[in-house]
Amino acid sequence: MEPVTEATDLLALDRQVCFALSIASRSVIGLYRPLLQPFGLTHPQYLVMLALWQHEPLSVKELGELLQLDPGTLSPLLKRLEALGYVHRERNSKDERALAVTLTPAGRQLRAEAEKIPPAIVARLGMDLDELQDLHAALMRLIASARRDA
């Protein structure tokens, strides 16, 4: 019988994809922090802004589908974005249950500044663009696999 060594141990920390994923996610978000701080944004708030710049107006439900976040997370987050002056929240007149989240002029203006962020991150990572694109594709496949049966 094979002994339990680093190489064969199913539970070895450095073999867990979930461990690499959590740390990678937190590490990369950490790179964004100093770039987002001047705008008063956190990383999840930045993702909401990306979604709005691309698809405004959006309801909470639509944002939740795009970002895979549940309404209990988005609801207070959107209030903070409103308090920052970047978005406007109002009920959809066609369906008073739904919220119509739109950008304020300040929120729209922020987009030009934000264009500088992705290149700055790529530069700071100092990785091959090809490798980053492969990684991105692999992550999207992983997401699809993980959510298929969920």
Partner DNA sequence: GGCTATTAGTTTGTACACAAAGTAAGTTAC
Partner DNA sequence: GTAACTTACTTTGTGTACAAACTAATAGCC
Name which of 62, 70, 47 is nearest 95 in CA terms: 62
Least spacing, CB of residue 2 vs DNA, in Å: 32
**CA-CA-CA-CA dihedral for 44, 17, 20, 133, to nearest 10:** -70
Please give the angle made by the CA atoms of 132, 137 and 143, to the nearest 5 degrees: 125
Contact status: 85 vs a copy of itself (CB under 8 A): no
CB burial class (10 A; 0-12, 13-18, 19+) of residue 14? Answer: exposed
Q: What is the rounded distance in angstroms from the CA atom of residue 105 to the CA atom of residue 89?
A: 14
Contact status: 15 vs a copy of itself (CB under 8 A): yes
Residues in binding contact with DNA, number by CB under 7 A:
33
Contact status: 26 vs DNA (CB under 7 A): yes
Q: Where are the alpha helices (DSSP H) in the chain?
A: 17-36, 43-55, 60-67, 71-84, 105-114, 117-125, 129-148
Asked whether 69 and 43 are in contact (CB, 8 A), the reply is no
Query: Mask 45-74, x = binds a copy of itself (CB under 8 A)?
Result: --x--xx-xx-----------xxx------
List the interface residues with a copy of itself, window 114-143 (CB under 8 A).
114-115, 118-119, 121, 124-127, 131-132, 134-136, 138-143
Least spacing, CB of residue 34 vs DNA, in Å: 9
Instruction: Report the interface residues with a copy of itself, using CB under 8 A.
Output: 9-13, 15-32, 43-44, 47, 50-51, 53-54, 66-68, 111, 114-115, 118-119, 121, 124-127, 131-132, 134-136, 138-143, 145-150
Binding site for DNA (CB under 7 A): 22, 26, 29-30, 33, 42-45, 59-62, 64, 68-78, 80, 89, 92, 95-99
